[in-house]
Amino acid sequence: MVKRSKEFTCETCPAGKSMFSSSLDNADLLYLNNQKSVHFYRKGEDIYHEGHKTVGIYCLMEGKVKVYKQGNDGREYIIRFVLPGEFIGLKALVTGNNHTTSASALEDSYVCFVTKTDFFQLMVKYPEFTRLLILTLSQLIEEAELKMTSLAQKPVKERLAEALIFLNKSFNAKSTNPDKTYLNLTRNDLSNIIGTAPETVIRLLSEFKDEKLISIKGRKIFITNNEELTRLANISI
């Protein structure tokens, strides 16, 4: 982890606009700006590890982060991806437990850190801020439940199709040109998302390509037939 001089303020960042700025008065927002620290994580660098003591909360300002658990078999099992404006480590902070997951940068990322003491002071002082946090936690739980259901009930081909659709929608939500959007993930990461072997992912991606559902350029995956891929995934969006 390396500190950088790049400036991020709670008034201008995605999380600040949706969470902090809408709930805090100017004096507390200025205090938060002064108290938080901004850190730069290179691609592949860990932000925290499973089992580490929770000392505060992280907020992603720029980049992408994956949250994962280490299985008994030594494999990573990806829980979710974090995009700019989202919190990392919220559940551990609220419950007071050690981190039950690990988090690492998928690409070069800037992350803000707020101490537990400062964050809890805001929760006590601003009920609306706390309500938004509870809503965020509820959404994370719902996403986890849906993923568990998918893993338990769907064959691997449907799970991969569903993952591609969900990730493309999440990563490229702000794109103004859908024809040029793509996913840039390792086959190993994709396999860790859907709970299968990398070789299976490679084989199924080749099948999707032959069926003209996707196109592949190096590690980049372009969805070329979203409607048919959605049908294959057995979901409604």
CB of 170 closer than 8 Å to CB of 140: no
pLDDT digits (tens, 9 = 90+) for 119-140: 999 999 999 889 988 888 888 8
What is the pTM (predicted TM-score) of this model? Answer: 0.79
pLDDT of 175: 60
pLDDT of 31: 87
pLDDT of 77: 87
Instruction: Annotate 146-191 with three-state secondary structure.
Output: HHHHHHHHCCHHHHHHHHHHHHHHHHCCCCCCHHHCCEECCHHHHH
- Region of 80 on the Ramachandran plot (φ > 0 left; ψ -120 to 50 alpha; else beta): beta
Residue numbers of the chain with a pLDDT score lower than 50? 1-5
Structure tokens at 160: 């991969």
pLDDT of 234: 84
pLDDT of 158: 93
